[in-house]
């Protein structure tokens, strides 16, 4: 099944490689292609993922349109900043790639150097040597309940995105496990700031569930995106345990999810 061309209307639905990380990338690409996805979000889980390692051939099967920068084990790349630079270099080398999702540096002592650099950075695409087509976005992580008199972390993150010249990756389940109203949250995000949506369900503190297996209003959420004219990426990001063991059954499962997502995006209810 061919992926739609880049001029299609509406958002592109991507398959996160993390959904099936236990499988070879070639097989993940084939499954995503056969299930009709528009592309893949490649998880940078190894410093061996560099230009010239066969990723161009994989991207011909299912276009690698987005990359997710490393979110743990940064020492393997030579540090947090080095991992971002290597992710950017790989995105620069892949023709379909035009987006990178990043986690903001955490508050742990081990992140001190990264935090200092990040706080002073005001143009991440420029500082990371990105080609002009590459856009970056910061992902909302699960937030603990703060003081009722404190500032909303989503507002702070959006300000940070603007300061760094990047967009926002809105992770629906992260917002849900933070105890937030996901509909109220997505309505606060300006359309021009929203570059990617990580899509999965959640209930309580359990995240990355199959849509419909949790408690989040995902149909209403997608209908909202459709109504406001969102046209960038929606990335399905499920735990591997959600999938059947059989490849044909996995493809059928993904087709069903993708088709339901497309119907909900088109819903006017």
pLDDT tens for each residue of 27-42: 999 999 999 999 999 9
C-beta neighbour count of 69 within 10 angstroms: 24
pLDDT in the model for residue 3: 40
Q: Which carries the bigger pLDDT value, residue 62 or residue 78?
A: 62
Q: Structural domain boundaries of the chain?
A: 12-266
DSSP 136: E
**Percent of the chain clearing pLDDT 70 (strictly above):** 89
In this prediction, residues 89-97 reach a mean pLDDT of 96
Q: Are 221 and 212 in contact (CB under 8 A)?
A: no
**Percent of the chain clearing pLDDT 90 (strictly above):** 74
Question: Pairing state of beta strands 201-203 and 206-209?
Answer: antiparallel
Phi, psi of 196 (to 5 degrees): -155, 150
Nearest 5°: CA angle at 95, between 84 and 26?
85
Structure confidence by residue, pLDDT tens digits, 235-260: 999 999 999 999 999 999 999 999 99
DSSP 151: P
Choosing among 3.30.450.40, 3.10.620.30, 2.60.120.10, 3.20.20.150, the CATH entry for 12-266 is: 3.20.20.150
Closest C-alpha among 46, 115, 30 to residue 86: 46
| Structure confidence at residue 111 as a pLDDT band (50, 70, 90) | low
Closest C-alpha among 159, 100, 97, 157 to residue 127: 100
pLDDT in the model for residue 109: 46
Q: Which residues pair with 171 in a beta bridge?
A: 198
Closest C-alpha among 12, 1, 8 to residue 236: 12
pTM: 0.92
């Amino acid at each position: 099944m061919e992926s739609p061309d880049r001029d299609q209307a509406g958002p592109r639905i991507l398959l996160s490689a993390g959904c099936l990380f236990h499988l070879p990338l070639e097989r993940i690409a084939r499954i995503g292609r056969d299930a009709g996805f528009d592309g893949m979000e490649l998880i940078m889980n190894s410093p061996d993922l560099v230009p010239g390692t066969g990723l161009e051939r994989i991207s011909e099967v299912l276009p690698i349109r987005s990359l997710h920068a490393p979110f743990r084990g940064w020492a393997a790349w030579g540090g947090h900043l080095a991992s971002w630079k290597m992710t950017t270099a790989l995105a620069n080398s892949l023709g379909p790639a035009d987006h990178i999702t990043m986690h903001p540096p955490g508050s742990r002592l081990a992140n001190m150097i990264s935090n200092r650099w990040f706080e002073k950075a005001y143009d991440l695409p420029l500082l990371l040597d990105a080609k002009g087509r590459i856009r970056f976005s910061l992902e909302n992580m699960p937030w603990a309940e703060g003081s009722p008199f404190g500032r909303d972390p989503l507002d702070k993150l959006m300000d940070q995105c603007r300061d760094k010249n990047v967009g926002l990756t809105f992770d629906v389940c992260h917002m849900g496990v933070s105890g937030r109203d996901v509909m109220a949250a997505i309505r606060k995000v300006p359309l021009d700031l929203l570059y990617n949506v990580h899509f999965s369900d959640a209930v309580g503190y359990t995240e990355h569930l199959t849509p419909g297996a949790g408690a989040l209003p995902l149909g209403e959420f997608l209908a909202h995106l459709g109504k406001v004219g969102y046209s960038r990426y929606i990335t399905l990001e499920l735990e591997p345990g959600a999938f059947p063991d059989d490849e044909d059954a996995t493809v059928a499962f993904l087709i069903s999810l993708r088709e339901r997502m497309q119907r909900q995006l088109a819903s006017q209810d």
